Structure 1
Amino acid sequence: MTKTAAFIGLGVMGYPMAGHLANQGYQVRVWNRTAAKAQQWTEQYSGQACDSIANAVHGADLVMTCVGADKDLIEVYEAADGIIANAAEGAILIDHTTASAAVAERLAQAAAARSLGFLDAPVSGGQQGAENGQLTVMCGGSQASFDKALAAMECYARAVNLMGDAGAGQKTKMVNQIAIAGLVQGLSEALHFAENAGLDASRVVDVISKGAAQSWQMENRSGTMIEGEFEHGFAVDWMRKDLGICLDEARKNHSTLPVTALVDQFYADIQAMGGNRWDTSSLIERLRCRS
């Protein structure tokens, strides 16, 4: 039986993710704050643009969200014309937003009160991963909800894992962002040093990427970092939002994150340089400007 999926939020991630669902035979209804974006989506994919969240989620088996931050989630889930009040009993709600663990736990409780399943399911892989259907999805919630949603999430992911109860997906994404922040800063410093030492940075990367220094960031971003190209999807503004979530959670669970806090301030410097929409690899530009 064909399943109906509602997708709320058609940004650079949600737009192609909803498209993969449509291409895999799901009956997809979409809603976006900017209605023209939803209409544009229906011109590219088979599906229906809805004029309200309530209409989009009515009778849907699955409801996916990918919006901005905690406040946006509370609005689309908890408003009178939002998801929780209008979703069909037994529907599974899947939130792909990177948000706080606290809001995930709050929404899971509200969903359960209406016999709805809920998964916090942030993703990693960026715009390219979304477009290619190669995202990594880290989920928090019940095994039953996960099992019912797995096939749909596999339409746009290469890996989908249940990490624990509600909030565990968001906490896992925090670990991901903490690791990336340090890696990108380290790679930026390494390339900056190579340039100042008079080395051919591209040849250096070719050599060291065969050893212990290798990373996804090195393989996929070093070339564009060397060229000063920072148009690869995941913006500095978004990373600062994510790192703020990480640092807030760290205060709650008594973790010490000195490198993460420092890199967060380095990204603030990039914002001050006008690089709000540059991608996260732009940390190297801060070093170049200080030479």
Structure 2
Amino acid sequence: MKVAFIGLGVMGFPMAGHLQNAGYKTTVYNRSEAKAIAWQNEFSGNIAATPKDAALECDVVFCCVGNDDDVRSVVYGDSGILAGLKQGAILVDHTTASAELAKELDKACQDKGFGFIDAPVSGGQAGAENGVLTVMCGGSESHFAKVAPVMDAYARFTQLMGDAGAGQLAKMVNQICIAGVVQGLAEGFNFAEKVGLDPDKLVETISKGAAGSWQMENRYKTMFAGEYEFGFAVDWMRKDLGIAFEQAQQHNIELPMTRMVDGYYQEVQSMGGNRWDTSSLIARFKK
């Protein structure tokens, strides 16, 4: 099977590598050619000059870029993905974007005889590098059935959530939940530090109970140490939450806790933490 991957950021670079290592003939495109060359040097796949060239003769084309506009810039136009896809091929968008964009792309693909799956991921850079991402998908069952085995190259779990856009809606829920969990950890760990509890003993104990979470077990050491130069950036989190806020407004859904935490992330940005991991919420207590 021939596949392509468009966008070699901290997520796309290792995801495309897993595809190549799994035996799929993989072609990549990235706006920065230097990044594509670095990928080729590491994984020995092919490089294309445009998204169209990458998509030529592919059975599946994966995309993971920044936002709605970035997706449109690599999908449409004479040099875009749709200009290179063959009949029956499937476009899979791993970008965390709006549900409206997913529906738009689904229609654009249907009109041209292509398939489409919106497939945002959870698991962060570490999940991408280790090939253990969780993928939330929207689209038809037939298209999902074709691409799910391919995504297994970098995913530990994939789920079809519903029609086009449902994957993006599920990712919004994911980010809303993470925001609340991380704020709770920031307050709890700050409390623990101020009253003199041993961090390791504390987490070893409470992680076994109802308070346990992935964020707790994987971020507590760095949160107590004040280390944030890694992981899922605050800028990205605020972008994702902004998408959720827009969707919530359309449906008159209240997100009071999430808006509060988003404001705290804005404070972290003002501290110079734009690229810090989302666990940096605790930095507000260390000023």
How far, CA to CA, are the matches of 2:196 and 2:21 in structure 1?
Answer: 50
The one-letter amino acid paired with 2:160 is L
Question: Match for 2:38 among 36, 40, 50?
Answer: 40
How far, CA to CA, are the matches of 1:63 and 1:210 in structure 2?
Answer: 41
Residue by residue over 1:14-65, the C-alpha shift from the partner in whole angstroms, topping out at 9 and shown as x without a partner, is 0000001101111000000001111111111131011111111011110000
The one-letter amino acid paired with 2:285 is L
The one-letter amino acid paired with 1:76 is V
**Equivalent in the alignment of 1:127:** 125
**Equivalent in the alignment of 2:235:** 237
Contact 1:202 1:226 in 2 (8 A): no
**Equivalent in the alignment of 1:287:** 285
Please give the secondary structure, in 1, of the residue aligned with 2:112. Answer: coil
Question: Match for 1:170 among 168, 171, 176?
Answer: 168
Of 226-235 and 59-68, deviating more is 226-235
Please give the secondary structure, in 2, of the residue aligned with 1:278. Answer: coil
How far, CA to CA, are the matches of 1:213 and 1:146 in structure 2?
Answer: 34
Please give the secondary structure, in 2, of the residue aligned with 1:255. Answer: coil
The one-letter amino acid paired with 2:126 is Q
1:202 is displaced (CA, Å) by 2.7
The Cα RMSD (Å) is 0.8
Residue by residue over 1:141-187, the C-alpha shift from the partner in whole angstroms, topping out at 9 and shown as x without a partner, is 00111011111101100001100000000000000000000000000
**Equivalent in the alignment of 1:78:** 76
How far, CA to CA, are the matches of 1:232 and 1:207 in structure 2?
Answer: 26
**Equivalent in the alignment of 2:55:** 57
**Equivalent in the alignment of 2:218:** 220
Determine if the alignment matches structure 1 residue 7 to structure 2 residue 5. Answer: yes
Contact 1:126 1:233 in 2 (8 A): yes
Q: What is the 5 A alignment of 1:11-22? A: 11-22=9-20
Q: What is the 5 A alignment of 1:106-185? A: 106-185=104-183
Please give the secondary structure, in 1, of the residue aligned with 2:276. Answer: coil
Please give the secondary structure, in 2, of the residue aligned with 1:85. Answer: helix
How far, CA to CA, are the matches of 2:207 and 2:50 in structure 1?
Answer: 49
The one-letter amino acid paired with 1:142 is S
Please give the secondary structure, in 2, of the residue aligned with 1:79. Answer: coil
**Equivalent in the alignment of 2:67:** 69
How far, CA to CA, are the matches of 2:102 and 2:92 in structure 1?
Answer: 10
**Equivalent in the alignment of 1:251:** 249
How far, CA to CA, are the matches of 1:52 and 1:232 in structure 2?
Answer: 30
Of 224-233 and 108-117, deviating more is 224-233
How far, CA to CA, are the matches of 2:43 and 2:235 in structure 1?
Answer: 29
How far, CA to CA, are the matches of 1:85 and 1:278 in structure 2?
Answer: 37
How far, CA to CA, are the matches of 2:101 and 2:71 in structure 1?
Answer: 8
Please give the secondary structure, in 2, of the residue aligned with 1:199. Answer: coil
Structure 2 unaligned segments of length 5 or more: list them. none
How far, CA to CA, are the matches of 1:9 and 1:77 in structure 2?
Answer: 12
**Equivalent in the alignment of 1:99:** 97
Contact 1:24 1:155 in 2 (8 A): yes
Q: Percent identity?
A: 57
1:254 is displaced (CA, Å) by 1.7
Determine if the alignment matches structure 1 residue 193 to structure 2 residue 187. Answer: no
How far, CA to CA, are the matches of 1:109 and 1:253 in structure 2?
Answer: 22
1:84 is displaced (CA, Å) by 1.4
After TM superposition, the score normalised by the length of structure 2 is 0.98
The one-letter amino acid paired with 1:251 is Q
How far, CA to CA, are the matches of 1:47 and 1:215 in structure 2?
Answer: 37
Residue by residue over 1:169-225, the C-alpha shift from the partner in whole angstroms, topping out at 9 and shown as x without a partner, is 000000000000000000000000111112223322222112111111111101110
Contact 2:51 2:75 in 1 (8 A): no
Structure 1 unaligned segments of length 5 or more: list them. none
Please give the secondary structure, in 1, of the residue aligned with 2:8. Answer: coil
